[in-house]
Amino acid sequence: MTLHNIISSSNSIIPLINTPPSTPLAVLACKVAFSTKAPPRPYHQVTSSPPTRYLYSSLGFSASSSSSTIPIIPNSFFSPSLRYPYTTMSSGQSFTLSNGVKIPGVGFGTFANEGATGETYKAVTCALNTGYRHLDCAWYYLNEGEVGDAVKDFLAANPSVKREDIFICTKVWNHLHRPEDVQWSIESSLKKLKVDYIDLFLVHWPIAAEKETQEKPKIGPDGKYVILKDLTENPEPTWRAMEKIYKEGKAKAIGVSNWTIEGLEKLLKYAEVKPHVNQIEIHPFLPNQELVDYCFKHEILPEAYSPLGSQNQVPTTGEKVSENQTLNDIAKKGGYTLAQVLIAWGLRRGYVVLPKSSNPARIESNFKSIQLTDEEYEAVNKVAEGRHFRFVNMKDTFGYDVWPEETAKNLSA
């Protein structure tokens, strides 16, 4: 990309005035992106790691689900051959799913606060200009249209980048678990994202709910979702619909999100196509080691959402992730941001990380590649050791708790 491309593809060059000559090109692109008026959101509703055989076997340690030790993966494991060819500021580490599909190791989370119309378009444009080639989306985020507009405009302005160079994930929401609704969901996402296929399609939660309409979940008298008990307890019909979408080529890979070991064990018994991914909350306050190991063992790539630990939330320990002294000391001593430390820690553990931000400087810095020394990596592991606190639990919205044992022990938000 040239500076001419950036200027000619935007509606304004005002943000370039008084910008220091030394400003990185990606930052200039983000300044333009965040000054450009985004298309309206017309549909807004109110409402691996490499598979086990590649990683664990090559390093000589077990992927047993009973393991409680976070393994040290040497920096030498991440060879140049793993690099993703379209990134510019990051090492571009990628992973290979069990079906051979490549997935960039650092994705850009697109969740945005409701009502922030236009912010997703700006943030995604900035991320793409920075070099991200992996976008994590969902029906629930209500902004797939803005993501699609940003991707379409970026590709038009950058003809050297093709659709197949951008990995797009989206997810089916709880009220769309009936087979016909799963089909509606993928078609809706394809239309809004303005693409012919999705790279990765996930079942967002292991919870099925009634729908008011396909655009709106049904809410009961208690203000919570009306749960479809039979489909929640036996999601085989939902997964059969996911497999159909995969076999039709509308999704290059399929998977789940927020699924437990127990849920995965049931799914694997009847799945004709095994889930390629399980997207779960992972950070030093919730290392999720047993589940991560289980996924590796069964060639399911873990993806970490909230890899920075929902930094503004305070768990029952009274300590924020962003205020942990050890983590901040590692960042300060190494000249990194705290986010860079946490992203590098996740990558070295062997899974995809999905940071999100609407701040141009943070979008850029999160994508910069760093490699933790063994000492730094072990220091983060010690912070994670023995911790288990979940920031994302929508039990009060759903009226259904995926992790009741954690709630009982006050280990969940």
Give residue-wise pLDDT tens across range 51-81: 332 232 222 223 333 333 444 434 333 333 2
Is 315 a member of any domain? yes
Is 1 a member of any domain? no
What are the tens digits of pLDDT across the range 206-242?
A: 999 999 999 999 999 999 999 999 999 999 999 999 9
**pLDDT confidence tier of residue 319, bands split at 50, 70 and 90:** confident
**Average pLDDT, stretch 335-342?**
97
Domains in the chain: how many in total? 1
Structural domain containing residue 184: 38-385
- CATH code (residue 140): 3.20.20.100
| Predicted model pTM | 0.80
Catalytic residue ranges: 141
Q: What's the 3-state SS for the chain? A: CCHHHHHHCCCCCHHHCCCCCCCCHHHHHHHHHHHCCCCCCCCCCCCCCCCCCCCHHHHCCCCCCCCCCCCCCCHHHCCHHHECCCCCCCCCEEEECCCCCEEECECEECCCCCCCCCHHHHHHHHHHHHCCCEEECCHHHCCHHHHHHHHHHHHHHCCCCCHHHCEEEEEECHHHCCHHHHHHHHHHHHHHHCCCCECEEEECCCCCECEEECCEECECCCCCECECHHHHHCCHHHHHHHHHHHHCCCECCEEEECCCHHHHHHHHHHCCCCCCEEEEECECCECCHHHHHHHHHCCCEEEEECCCCCCCCCCCCCCCHHHCHHHHHHHHHHCCCHHHHHHHHHHHHCCEEECCCCCHHHHHHHHCCCCCCHHHHHHHHHHHCCCCCECCCCHHHHCCCCCHHHHHCCCEC
Is 263 a member of any domain? yes
Is 351 a member of any domain? yes
Is 6 a member of any domain? no
Is 398 a member of any domain? no
Residue 195: what pLDDT?
99
What are the tens digits of pLDDT across the range 243-301?
A: 999 999 999 999 999 999 999 999 999 999 999 999 999 999 999 999 999 999 999 99
Is 15 a member of any domain? no
